[in-house]
Amino acid sequence: DFSWKLADHPKLPKGKAVAVVVLDGWGEANPDKYNCIHVAETPTMDSLKKGAPEKWRLVRAHGTAVGLPTEDDMGNSEVGHNALGAGRIYAQGAKLVDIALASGKIYEGEGFNYIKECFGSGTLHLIGLLSDGGVHSRLDQLQLLLKGSSENGAKRIRVHILTDGRDVLDGSSVGFVEILENDLAQLREKGIDAKIASGGGRMYVTMDRYENDWGVVKRGWDAQVLGEAPHKFRSALEAVKKLREEPKANDQYLPPFVIVDESGKAVGPIVDGDAVVTFNFRADRMVMPAKALEYENFDKFDRVRFPKIRYAGMLQYDGELKLPSHYLVSPPEIERTSGEYLVHNGVRTFACSETVKFGHVTFFWNGNRSGYFNEEMEEYVEIPSDSGITFNVQPKMKALEIAEKARDAILSGKFHQVRVNLPNGDMVGHTGDIEATVVACKAADEAVKMILDAIEQVGGIYVVTADHGNAEDMVKRDKRGQPLLDKSGKIQILTSHTLQPVPIAIGGPGLLPGVRFRKDVLDGGLANVAATVMNLHGFVAPSDYEQTLIEVVEN
Ligand code: 3PG
Ligand code: CO
């Protein structure tokens, strides 16, 4: 007999305003010149750190602590916010796909059987991110899927690649294309007609999120479905090498291209009777392309042609929308998240970020579920992001605006929880621009200050933490931690996230003086934060949640 009712915390009061601040891409690392958080002026975060060990500590934000396959997997926003919001560690998409591929179960499931119907006369198209980053997709999974699909009846295969440079080093696209080309050549030797059909950089083609810019998805549609793009090449390797020769070219932003035959005809547009799989497991950047591929009624851009295809996602990307309706691997069943519990227990919630991270504090926080649990109890505010720019140009992003919204929500007295994501460290860190990332970190710190000041005014409580590392290390390092140089002696810029732990700080006038971090949760991670926050709202977390990080000692 399940109940949403949470037990009262024996010592902690209800009704306090609790600010939950997530700094995106803000890890803890040794101070050096590639640590932008260290280089930046961050007086607010510095002062929180002085509260260690009772009011400040580190938590794990990568690897198995957030449900990723191995300790070599860096953290990311999806698994980080899932853990923060759900309070438990779920085997995540990366791992679930590994298991389904290893056992072969992926080929027995509903999703594969559905697309398989097309293998007789249609082509199998695989669309996704080509890298070994392990954040949205993984090259080895694509390789296994290619092999397995061909063994299970696919005779004609077209791969539509998106180059990375964001979860992996810029320039690595060339090597990944070589590996894929080699695999496809082997398939051709076995009589399978397998080729790369189109491509483009992930941030410019297909992989937009939270409806920031449908033009990105349209460029992908034109290349993948219509076989049209400004650049045409005879091979993908030639395409990537040539496009990278342009000044300032960057894997993340390569323009769309299609591969053509000797007569100039695209080798793999998507047509009636074909099967399509988007092979990314991560949800946020697949929801928009999935809508374009699946929805009969669609008005976000002119699709020109809407082919009758059988489409499956690697996973189902949105549990509320049930999108897509067919998928190869069942997503983690993240249920009973802290957000859902709290609305059932009278906690009024306000959540806010700017577009590019808005779904992180709503959709990911709520277990990959769009929409409200209870509209009366929750308010989600999205501040439009600047679109069409790389964020090193505007490193302050909308941090101030987010903080103002949070401040106003706190001062309004209408909410018990005010939750925000401050994107700067991550979004600017991903550009690899060190100077801009320093500006970004300062802006995020100022935003934290504004929120803490509001909490001070209302006698509330704050929890300040992060989802994973990024800005604290901007250079690729060797095993001893020394910066790695490329052939020309230049440092290799790290655009990706890191394996670093992240800080968590608690405080505010509403925090009982006896509240402090326990000493016995040594390996605490992001999943321990939900129980902690529930305590600060005056409740005991459900027994299957990861344990709280705090205790109350009598003074
Ligand atoms: C992205 O999608 O921008 C990166 O691959 C991961 O960044 P995030 O996990 O911080 O969103
Ligand atoms: Co990121």
Q: What DSSP letter does each residue of 481-545 carry, written as one string?
A: SPBPB-TTS-B-B--S--S--EEEEEE-TTS-TTEEE-SS-TT-BGGGHHHHHHHHTTBPPPTTS
Atom of ligand 1 nearest to the CA of 78: 9
Judge contact between 494 and 539, C-beta under 8 A: no
Tell me how many degrees the CA angle 275-291-358 measures, rounded to the nearest 5. 135
What is the Å distance from ligand 1's center to 533 Cα?
Answer: 25
Tally of CB atoms within 10 A around 22: 27
Distance CA 161, CA 475 (A): 26
Atom of ligand 1 nearest to the CA of 360: 11
Strand locations in 32-123 (E): 56-59
Query: Which residue among 74, 385, 430, 472 has the greatest number of ligand 1 atoms within 8 angstroms of its CB, and so is best to mutate?
Result: 430
Ligand nearest to C-alpha 252:
1
Q: 81 a known binding residue?
A: no
Atom 8 of ligand 1 has which residue's CA nearest to it? Answer: 77
5 φ, ψ to 5°? -65, 125
DSSP 232-287: EES-HHHHHHHHHTSTT--GGGPPPEEEB-TTS-BS----TT-EEEE----STTTH
What is the Å distance from ligand 1's center to 76 Cα?
Answer: 6
Tally of CB atoms within 10 A around 364: 29
Class of residue 210 by CB neighbours under 10 A (exposed 0-12, middle 13-18, buried 19+): buried
What is the Å distance from ligand 2's center to 471 Cα?
Answer: 10
Q: Is 166 in the pocket of ligand 1 (CB under 6 A)?
A: yes
Q: Is 282 in the pocket of ligand 1 (CB under 6 A)?
A: no
Q: Is 131 a catalytic residue?
A: no
Distance CA 403, CA 151 (A): 54
Active-site pick, 3, 47, 77, 385: 77
Within the chain, how many helices (H) and strands (E) appear?
A: 16, 17
In the structure, ligand 2 is a single-atom ion and the residues with CB under 5 Å from it are: 426
Put the strands of the sheet holding 349-354 in their side by side order: 56-59, 502-507, 461-466, 18-23, 417-422, 349-354, 378-383
Q: 407 a known binding residue?
A: no
Distance CA 547, CA 517 (A): 12
Domains, the chain, ordered by start: 21-91+334-552 (3.40.720.10), 94-329 (3.40.1450.10)
Distance CA 517, CA 531 (A): 13
Intervals of the chain under pLDDT 50? none
Atom 10 of ligand 1 has which residue's CA nearest to it? Answer: 77
154 φ, ψ to 5°? -70, 125
The reply to whether omega before 31 is within 30° of 0 (cis) is no
What is the Å distance from ligand 2's center to 357 Cα?
Answer: 10
Give how far Cα 463 sits from Cα of 18, 153, 535, Å.
7, 53, 12
Q: Is 471 in the pocket of ligand 1 (CB under 6 A)?
A: no
Report the Cα–Cα distance between both ends of the chain, in Å, rounded. 39
Ligand nearest to C-alpha 283:
1
Q: 11 a known binding residue?
A: no
Q: Spell out the residues 6+ positions from residue 520 whose beta carbon is closer than 8 angstroms to its own.
A: none
What is the Å distance from ligand 2's center to 430 Cα?
Answer: 6
Ligand nearest to C-alpha 162:
1
pLDDT for the residue numbered 387: 87
Atom of ligand 1 nearest to the CA of 285: 2
Atom 5 of ligand 1 has which residue's CA nearest to it? Answer: 167
CA 479 to chain centre: 27
* Ranges of H-type helices in 352-398: 355-359
Please state the ipTM of this predicted complex: 0.99
Q: Is 202 in the pocket of ligand 1 (CB under 6 A)?
A: no
Query: Which residue among 78, 82, 135 has the greatest number of ligand 1 atoms within 8 angstroms of its CB, and so is best to mutate?
Result: 135
Q: 156 a known binding residue?
A: no
Ligand nearest to C-alpha 470:
2
Atom of ligand 1 nearest to the CA of 135: 5
Atom of ligand 1 nearest to the CA of 164: 5
Global pTM?
A: 0.96
Q: Is 426 in the pocket of ligand 1 (CB under 6 A)?
A: yes
